[in-house]
Each structure stands twice: as C-alpha cells, then as structure tokens.
C-alpha cells in the first residue's frame, strides 16, 4: 500500500504542475477577477487577503472553536467528536465567504486552488502526520444535481501542495441527508448519523485528513470521521477553509 500511495502522489505532482501551467495560460487569456472586490487580473487580491479574519488562539485543541482558553471545550468533553482535531482557516465572512460561494454555486474551480493555498498555510503550522487526503462527499443524488463536489475542488489541489495522495473513494455518503442550514446542534447530529461509509481497503491503519469548505458545528465532519475510524483509520484530522457561527446559538458546535 505504501508503494501505491507513493505512485499516486507522484502522478498527482505531475498533474499539479501541469494544471498550474494551464491556470497561468487561462488567467492570461481570460483574466480572473477577485471575489472580494472584483479587481481584474487577480483571483484573490492582496488587499482582500488583508480583510480575511484568521482564527487564532485561544482555540479548543480538539474542535478548534475559539474560546477563552486553549483547554478542551465543554462540548468536546460531553460529546467527543469522531475526529482527532479540526481546524478552520478563517471566519466565514467577507472575501472568504464570497470566494466559497463562487466555488460552491458557480463552480469557479480557480477558487478551489486559491483556497487550497490558505489550507496549506494552516496545515504548515500544525504538527499533523498524515498519509492521505479525502473530502467530505456529497450524496449521489446531490452530486448528480450539482455536477461537482466543491470540497473536492479544494481537497485535490491541497493534496498536490502537501505531496500526499487524494482518494475520493476513501469515504462515501450513503444517506441523502437534509441541508444542515437552520438546524440546531442536536438536529445536525441526528441528521448526519450513519450517513457515511469508509473504504477499509484505502484507510486501514492510515492517518487521514478530511477537507471541507465550511464547518459550523463540525457534526458532518465528526460523523465522517467516525466512519473512517470504524474502517480502521488510526488518526483522522480535518481542515476547513472557514468556520461559520451556529444561528441562534452563541455556544460552540460539536
């Protein structure tokens, strides 16, 4: 399996260098515009990067929720999540929110590459040893409807950047869950319960990192991580581009 992971990683590196060249060509032919301010010729301009609000200490060491100290938060103590650690790069606001919406609703895949750089910067500050990368999967019904998985649009270039293999088939969503928007913390956990199945042939005895676009309560990522652990994964970490507050609830997520 180790030789297979190395071979996959080498193929991905070639693909990444080729795609980077293609993006340079496309940006020259079809100049992009910044999702934050609309500046022509910039996929995410430096001015808008200064408006990004990174999440910094103090954070819960498990779920990464901002708090008053770096101690494990009450929610993680009372309802331990399936992942070993979750971190988000920034607050879900301003240019980051615009970029994520452009990726999710307009399939602007160039933003996937831009946002993967944010996750790379965050990952570089963490002492996580991983073997492979995967993304929160969509259900087959939603994938057919949308035509693409926005989390995968971020996860693939992220895997290229850290020189680790990406496996879309590491985990699948076997339950077409309702949207998590406007659900309470308890309802979110119930909604995604039993929603995922992981491929033990891929993840057994491996350290896996899950990529998603936005986390609110962490419930979806937690349930996905549980499926990976049940399939034999030794460690499961998670990175998201942004963290959004839970509507109507000022306490942390799960």
**Does residue 43 belong to any structural domain of this protein?**
no
Overall residue count recorded for the chain in this entry = 254
Span 66-87, pLDDT tens digits: 988 999 999 999 999 999 999 9
Does 234 fall in a domain?
Answer: yes
Task: Note whether 99 and 153 are within 8 A (CB).
Answer: no
The kind and range of the H/E element at 185 are helix 185-192
Between CA 125 and CA 145 the distance in angstroms is 37
Does residue 33 lie within any of the structural domains? no
Per-residue pLDDT, 92: 97
Residue 36 lies in a domain: no
Q: Please say whether the beta carbons of 164 and 131 come within 8 A.
A: yes
In a domain, 7, yes or no: no
Asked if 242 and 189 touch (Cβ cutoff 8 Å), the reply is no
| Domain-located, residue 14 | no
Regions of the chain where pLDDT drops below 70: 1-30, 246-254
Radius of gyration of the chain (CA): 18
Full residue range of the structural domain in which residue 105 is found: 51-243
What is the rounded CA–CA span in Å between residue 235 and residue 229?
7
Neighbours of 182 (CB within 10 A): 10
CATH of the domain at 205: 3.40.50.2020
**223 located within any domain:** yes
Question: 87: which strand partners?
Answer: 239
- Give the 3-state secondary structure of residue 79: coil
Domain count, the chain: 1
User: What is the structure's pLDDT at 9?
Assistant: 55
Residue-level pLDDT at 250: 40
pTM: 0.86
pLDDT of residue 245: 82
* pLDDT for residue 110: 87
């Amino acid at each position: 399996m180790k030789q297979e992971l190395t071979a996959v990683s080498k193929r991905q590196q070639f693909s990444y260098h080729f795609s980077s060249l293609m993006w340079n060509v496309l940006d020259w032919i079809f100049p992009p515009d910044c999702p934050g301010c609309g500046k022509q010729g910039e996929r995410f301009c430096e001015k808008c990067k200064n408006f990004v609000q990174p999440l910094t200490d103090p954070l819960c060491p498990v779920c990464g929720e901002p708090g008053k100290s770096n101690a494990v938060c009450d929610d993680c103590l009372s309802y331990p999540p399936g992942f070993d650690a979750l971190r988000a790069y920034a607050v879900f606001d301003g240019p980051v929110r615009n970029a994520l919406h452009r990726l999710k609703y307009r399939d602007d895949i160039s933003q996937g590459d831009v946002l993967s750089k944010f996750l790379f910067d965050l990952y570089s500050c963490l002492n996580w040893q991983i073997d492979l990368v995967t993304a929160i999967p969509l259900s087959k019904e939603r994938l057919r409807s949308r035509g693409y998985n926005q989390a995968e649009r971020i996860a693939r270039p992220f895997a290229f950047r850290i020189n680790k293999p990406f496996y879309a088939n590491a985990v699948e969503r076997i339950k077409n869950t309702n949207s998590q928007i406007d659900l309470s913390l308890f309802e979110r956990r119930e909604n995604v319960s039993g929603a995922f199945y992981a491929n033990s042939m891929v993840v057994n005895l491996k350290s896996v990192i899950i990529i998603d676009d936005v986390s609110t309560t962490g419930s979806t990522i937690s349930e996905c991580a549980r499926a990976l652990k049940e399939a034999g994964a030794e460690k499961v970490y998670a990175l998201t581009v942004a963290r959004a507050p839970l509507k109507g609830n000022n306490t942390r997520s799960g």
